[in-house]
Structure 1
């Protein structure tokens, strides 16, 4: 269910090595911290936040606390399992990336065998909760997102194709869809729109990282767009996807899911993000501009989650 990194984190793949490096002792707390770092907390909670936003939008004020609790716990465990498995599979890439080379699966602080067992326990626990207390559509979305993230993205497209980000963004949009259909039990216009929003949002977010982390990806041999097609093309793609994202957010009020307050807030924030994208076309300091685009991507997705939750209740 998670994205190729994280909808909401300090960097797309997270800096989990920093967390792991602070827990090199042998106490229970140290071990727990190392295992916790395996779940990529920034990725984990960012995805769960979008799932909650989808749930609250679909609820439209008719909140079911038990269903919400089951969705949140089950989704958290399934995403954590996928992140742990991704850590196992990405050891070769992580070992040459500056921000990931201290991860516990790279340093050997946790063996691949123990990490795999942890992954299985998390996955089966989360899936059992979703199967018992949500609906078949949530389970389908969860399993589908898991497979896309681990296999189609992590094992294949990330390593082989420039289109890995597109594939990863499908799994990144799965949590908000799961949250929405947990309430509705069906796919409707709202479900399609929230999925589309998060899918499109990830493209400029990750492409921004691909610019200022260009050299690291090049060393690791990961064929991201900035490495394969250059910075200029990447900046053009960022602007295109930013505009598409903003348009998708403004379709929600057209279908009557939210009102004026949502429209004004997302319209203003979206306009500013587009303006930043336009500035990037002529920017001379590409890294500095890309970091600004990335930082604002976090602001706008947090605002989006808040407005999805409150939008149905506001004018």
Structure 2
């Protein structure tokens, strides 16, 4: 029996799924914070719009490439088997063509309408995630998410560069926050999904070194993250409001990770994973509010 072609609404939903909209939304949010923190007042509207769209399209392109590369693994995992490629709704060439259109459009916008440095760094981030992490690191080492986290931590730097055309030390602090946040964020999910990763021979830390070992690493990185988030205040980048929010959220995140360590077979891994997203949004929102509060009070 011939499989019926999906209707337009289903097809649109499948292409949207390729973009991993929740992930892209978080990437764009941190990039926008980087843009707004880059200058003391209003950002140039054209750079803000074209920079946001360019970075967002590049992130969506990387996500689509990730779908293509992981299509066989996705077909074997319960969490991903309903994605467009495993279900057969889309073909490999369609996914790669879609990714190419998004990527080329993103690079053209950034190169010609923002600045070449933003385009080059965004391309490097795309290649780092879609190729270096997905093809090599993900399957090579249990430290894959630590090393590959550099690509995911780039968006605020990309946003900053889109507005100023240069890499500033404060932008690198934003990078460092996300880079340190990524391991406890992802390892919490990996603990919950460890049986699925083991099934497809993916060397995630809970699979290769066990849940207890991973739990200690999550706590260690969360403590490190709490210390890293003090740097914007210590360097004068932000004020007291940010410091209070960062410390409160950091202590709360640490409490979640301790609960996960004590009871990794309950709901705590996914609770910790969910809170980690709330945590990152809260820290970056506090940076932004503190920044404009200082501008208004100046």
TM-score after normalising by structure 2: 0.93
1:132 aligns with 2:108: no
1:26 aligns with 2:6: yes
1:215 aligns with 2:195: yes
> Contact between 2:58 and 2:102, CA under 8 Å: does it hold in 1?
yes
> Contact between 1:259 and 1:314, CA under 8 Å: does it hold in 2?
no
How many angstroms does 1:306 deviate by?
1.1
1:36 aligns with 2:20: no
> Contact between 1:57 and 1:311, CA under 8 Å: does it hold in 2?
no
Q: Which residue number corresponds to residue 288 of structure 1? A: 267
> Contact between 2:205 and 2:214, CA under 8 Å: does it hold in 1?
yes
Q: Which residue number corresponds to residue 172 of structure 2? A: 192
1:102 aligns with 2:82: yes
TM-score after normalising by structure 1: 0.88
Distance of 2:166 and 2:234 partners within structure 1: 20
1:231 aligns with 2:226: no
> Contact between 1:54 and 1:308, CA under 8 Å: does it hold in 2?
no
How many angstroms does 1:70 deviate by?
0.6
How many angstroms does 1:285 deviate by?
4.4
How many angstroms does 1:238 deviate by?
0.4
Residue among 287, 293, 296 paired with 1:314? 293
Q: Which residue number corresponds to residue 63 of structure 1? A: 43
Distance of 1:82 and 1:252 partners within structure 2: 30
1:157 aligns with 2:137: yes
Distance of 2:291 and 2:263 partners within structure 1: 42
Q: Which residue number corresponds to residue 297 of structure 1? A: 276
Distance of 2:18 and 2:254 partners within structure 1: 35
> Contact between 1:54 and 1:179, CA under 8 Å: does it hold in 2?
yes
Distance of 1:162 and 1:183 partners within structure 2: 36
Distance of 2:40 and 2:219 partners within structure 1: 32
> Contact between 1:56 and 1:308, CA under 8 Å: does it hold in 2?
no
Distance of 2:67 and 2:267 partners within structure 1: 29
How many angstroms does 1:25 deviate by?
6.3
Unaligned runs of 5+ in 1: 1-23
> Contact between 1:138 and 1:181, CA under 8 Å: does it hold in 2?
yes
Deviations for 1:5-54, whole angstroms, at most 9, x for unmatched residues? xxxxxxxxxxxxxxxxxxx8633232222211111111111111111111
Deviations for 1:171-209, whole angstroms, at most 9, x for unmatched residues? 111111101222232222201100000111111000101
The SS at the match of 2:127 is helix
Q: Which residue number corresponds to residue 263 of structure 1? A: 243
Deviations for 1:68-105, whole angstroms, at most 9, x for unmatched residues? 10111111111111111110110111011111001111
Range with bigger deviation, 79-88 or 287-296: 287-296
Distance of 2:177 and 2:117 partners within structure 1: 20
Deviations for 1:125-178, whole angstroms, at most 9, x for unmatched residues? 011000012222211221111111112110011012112111321111111110
How many angstroms does 1:63 deviate by?
2.1
